[in-house]
């Protein structure tokens, strides 16, 4: 017996409450923008600026001990990552420590670095600071601009691609779904104040790709059914197409979520923000592909001029639907 997340043949009406779904989405987008405007994002070191310290010790790196030693210094956002490299000696243990820039300073001062060295020496005797590199606020500001540009260009590329592959109505529906997903993800990060860094930008771009994939699958079936059922109402065609792809959509989302939830629980603090963004993105991406993109397409309509006779001259397969 095969596992099915949805019945084999469904005939659910996804547009019976289309205005309600669009209203809920619009409300969530407004709340997300309000959260961003009032609370702002909890930017990580990538966007705030700070100092990266590469440490080396003969003792194994214990991230918990390192973090405990630095917590008492009141340094704010501190990221600690163990570095593994097959070329390292057996007694060579390396870690990367990133400390956010302190208020009113271009980078972490020498006194703070010395305090960090003293604190870490208590949990890892003989620890060395092999290199110390700083990122100032100007560079961080450029990273914010570059990240925003990357997301905007990705959405613009999607608009152009869908426009060429389908029609402009399909493109508007797909882009509306993508903007919806990105804004809701930014909004939830502003609301819960999870650290927002370059890894989250990577997650946003991944969410754009995932949501687009779901939307294109539905739209591809819509286009096929528009040709197959020339006399059916657009609403009926959309419902039929979504029902036909529903099993695939839910199975893909469920298996993706299983892997992401395992990473969220077992992956540790380093990737937790990225994984949280991906989990949220898969959920809202699946929702928007069904309720937002298709509802926008229904509102805009699709040109369906079937009144012209099909020219079958010189083609024995001319009367066969593509």
Banded model confidence at residue 321, pLDDT cuts 50, 70, 90: very low
Fold category of 50-135 in CATH? Alpha-Beta Plaits (3.30.70)
| Res 320 pLDDT > 50 | no
- Cβ neighbors of 88 (< 8 A, separation 6 or more) are 94
pLDDT digits (tens, 9 = 90+) for 281-305: 889 888 888 888 888 888 888 766 5
Would the pLDDT of 3 be above 70? no
Distance of CA 304 to the CA centre of its chain: 35
Q: What is the pLDDT of residue 8?
A: 67
Classify each residue of 3-35 as buried b or exposed e, where b means 16 or more C-beta atoms within 10 Å of its C-beta.
eeeeeeeeeeebbeebeebbeebeebeeebeeb
**Residue 312, helix vs strand vs coil:** coil
Distance CA 82, CA 61 (A): 7
pLDDT tens string 6-52: 666 767 777 777 788 888 888 989 999 998 888 888 877 667 777 78
Q: Are 295 and 18 in contact (CB under 8 A)?
A: yes
Same fold yes or no, 18-42+139-300 and 50-135: no
Task: Reduce the DSSP state of residue 96 to 3 states and report it.
Answer: strand
Domain definitions of the chain by residue range: 18-42+139-300, 50-135
pLDDT at 84 over 70: yes
Three-class secondary structure assignment of 272-300:
HHHHHHHHHHHHHHHHHHHHHHHHHHHHH
Domain spanning 18-42+139-300: CATH 3.40.640.10: no
Q: Let me know: does 286 contact 249? Beta carbons within 8 Å.
A: yes
Per residue in 128-177, pLDDT (tens digit) is 888 887 766 555 567 677 777 887 887 788 778 777 777 788 888 888 88
Whole-prediction pTM: 0.70
Segment 182-237, tens digit of pLDDT: 889 889 888 888 888 778 888 888 888 888 888 888 888 888 888 888 778 888 88
């Amino acid at each position: 017996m095969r596992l099915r997340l949805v019945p084999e043949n469904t005939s659910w009406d996804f547009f019976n409450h289309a205005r309600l779904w669009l209203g809920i989405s619009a409300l969530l987008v407004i709340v997300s923008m309000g959260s961003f405007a009032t609370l702002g994002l909890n930017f990580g070191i990538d966007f705030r600026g700070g100092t990266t310290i590469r440490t080396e010790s003969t003792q194994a790196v214990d991230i918990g001990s390192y973090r405990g030693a630095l917590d008492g210094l009141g340094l704010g956002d501190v990221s600690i990552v163990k570095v593994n490299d097959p070329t390292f000696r057996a007694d060579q243990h390396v870690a990367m420590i990133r400390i956010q820039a302190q208020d009113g300073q271009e980078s972490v001062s020498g006194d703070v670095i010395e305090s960090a060295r003293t604190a870490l020496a208590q949990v890892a005797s003989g620890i060395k600071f092999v290199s110390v590199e700083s990122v100032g606020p100007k560079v961080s500001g450029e990273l914010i601009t570059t990240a925003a540009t990357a997301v905007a260009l990705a959405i613009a590329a999607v608009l152009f691609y869908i426009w060429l592959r389908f029609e402009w109505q399909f493109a508007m529906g797909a882009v509306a779904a993508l903007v919806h997903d990105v804004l809701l993800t930014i909004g939830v990060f502003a609301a819960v104040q999870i650290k927002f860094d370059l890894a989250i930008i990577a997650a946003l771009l991944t969410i754009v790709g995932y949501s687009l994939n779901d939307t294109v699958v539905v739209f591809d079936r819509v286009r096929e059914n528009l040709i197959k059922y020339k006399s059916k109402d657009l609403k009926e065609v959309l419902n039929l197409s979504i029902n036909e792809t529903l099993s695939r959509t839910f199975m893909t989302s469920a298996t993706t979520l299983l892997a992401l939830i395992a990473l969220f629980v077992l992956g540790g603090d380093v990737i937790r923000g990225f994984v949280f963004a991906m989990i949220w993105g898969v959920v809202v991406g699946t929702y928007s592909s069904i309720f937002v993109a298709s509802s926008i397409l229904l509102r805009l309509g699709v040109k369906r001029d079937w009144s012209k006779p099909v020219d079958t001259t010189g083609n024995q397969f001319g009367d066969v639907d593509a």
